[in-house]
Amino acid sequence: MASRLLLIAFFVASCSLALASDPSPLQDFCVADPNSAVLVNGVACKDPNLVQANDFLFRGLQVMGDTSNDVGSNVTVVTVAQLPGLNTFGISMARIDFAPDGINPPHTHPRATEILAVIKGSIEVGFVTSNTENRLLTKVLEIGDVFVFPQGLIHFQRNVGHDHALAIAALSSQNPGAITIADAVFGSNPDINGDILAKAFQVDKNIIYQIQSKF
pLDDT in tens, 37-67: 888 888 999 999 999 999 999 999 999 999 9
pLDDT level of residue 97 (50, 70, 90 thresholds): very high
CA atoms within 13 A on the CB side of 143: 6
Tell me the CA distances in angstroms from 120 to 67, 116, 166, 198, one per residue in order. 15, 12, 5, 40
Question: Average pLDDT for residues 7-17, to the nearest whole number?
Answer: 43
Question: Average pLDDT for residues 74-94, to the nearest whole number?
Answer: 96
pLDDT beyond 70 at 20: no
Give the pLDDT score at 21: 60
CA–CA distance, 83 with 54 (Å, rounded to integer): 9
Query: Considering the chain, what percentage of its residues have pLDDT values greater than 90?
Result: 82
Tell me, what amino acid is at 64?
Answer: M
pLDDT beyond 60 at 178: yes
Look at the chain and count its residues.
215
pLDDT level of residue 11 (50, 70, 90 thresholds): very low
3-state secondary structure of 170: strand
Angle of helix 194-201 relative to helix 205-212, nearest 10 degrees, comes to 110
Q: Does the annotation place 107 within a ligand binding site?
A: yes
Query: Considering the chain, what percentage of its residues have pLDDT values greater than 70?
Result: 89
pLDDT beyond 80 at 109: yes
Spell out the residues 6+ positions from residue 193 whose beta carbon is closer than 8 angstroms to its own: none
Give the pLDDT score at 141: 98
Give the pLDDT score at 28: 87
Question: Average pLDDT for residues 56-83, to the nearest whole number?
Answer: 97
Q: Does the annotation place 133 within a ligand binding site?
A: no
DSSP 213: T
pTM above 0.75, yes or no: yes
| Mean model confidence pLDDT for the chain | 90
Cis peptide before 132 (omega within 30 of 0): yes
Q: Does the annotation place 124 within a ligand binding site?
A: no
pLDDT beyond 60 at 19: no
Where is pLDDT greater, at 205 or 12? 205
Q: Does the annotation place 114 within a ligand binding site?
A: yes
CA atoms within 13 A on the CB side of 167: 31
Q: Does the annotation place 104 within a ligand binding site?
A: yes
Give the pLDDT score at 147: 98
Give the pLDDT score at 85: 96
Q: How many CB atoms lie within 10 A of CB 78?
A: 19
